[in-house]
């Protein structure tokens, strides 16, 4: 059973556009929600993370929106650039658990 559901599987965006990737979870014990970025041939790397005490976190062009009641969170990439083309994974974990649960990934392509 997929603990974290991610959509879409792939996304094509024009340069300068907004990329939006969505994730949903069921386990209310989750209290840490990171996003990872993976370039081809490399391991994933932390992009941005949020804890449920805030509804939004912004770092540069990247924003996480968090909706605790809906158990959903999303990544918004503003002014998308070709260099943002990568696979993005959402994840969730809890302070009482030992694991991170990853979504299935979104392949983002930003067209020049």
Partner 1 sequence: NAGVTQTPKFRILKIGQSMTLQCTQDMNHNYMYWYRQDPGMGLKLIYYSVGAGITDKGEVPNGYNVSRSTTEDFPLRLELAAPSQTSVYFCASSSGSMNTIYFGEGSWLTVV
Binding map of partner 1 across residues 48-87, x = CB under 8 A, - = no contact = -x--------------------------------------
- DSSP class of residue 56 equals E
Examine residue 41 and tell whether it contacts partner 1 (CB under 8 A). Answer: yes
State the distance between the two ends of the chain, measured CA to CA, in whole angstroms: 38
Those residues with Cβ within 8 angstroms of residue 73's Cβ, 6 or more apart along the chain or in another chain? 22, 23, 25, 33, 50, 64, 65, 66, 67, 90
Residues 79, 14: contact at Cβ < 8 Å? no
Q: Check binding of 94 to partner 1 (CB under 8 A).
A: yes
Please tell me the count of residues contacting partner 1 according to CB under 8 A: 25
Binding site for partner 1 (CB under 8 A): 6, 9, 31-32, 34, 36, 41-46, 49, 89, 93-95, 97-100, 102-105
């Amino acid at each position: 059973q997929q603990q974290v559901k991610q959509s879409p599987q792939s996304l094509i965006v024009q340069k300068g556009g907004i990329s939006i990737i969505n994730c949903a979870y069921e386990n209310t014990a989750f209290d840490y929600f990171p996003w990872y970025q993976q370039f081809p041939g490399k391991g994933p790397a932390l992009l941005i993370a949020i804890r449920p005490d805030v509804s939004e976190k912004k770092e540069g062009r990247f924003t996480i929106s968090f909706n605790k009641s809906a158990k959903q969170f999303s990544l918004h990439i503003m002014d998308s650039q070709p260099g943002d083309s990568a696979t993005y994974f959402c994840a969730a974990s809890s302070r009482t658990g030992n694991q991170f649960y990853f979504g299935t990934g979104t392949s983002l392509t930003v067209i020049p």
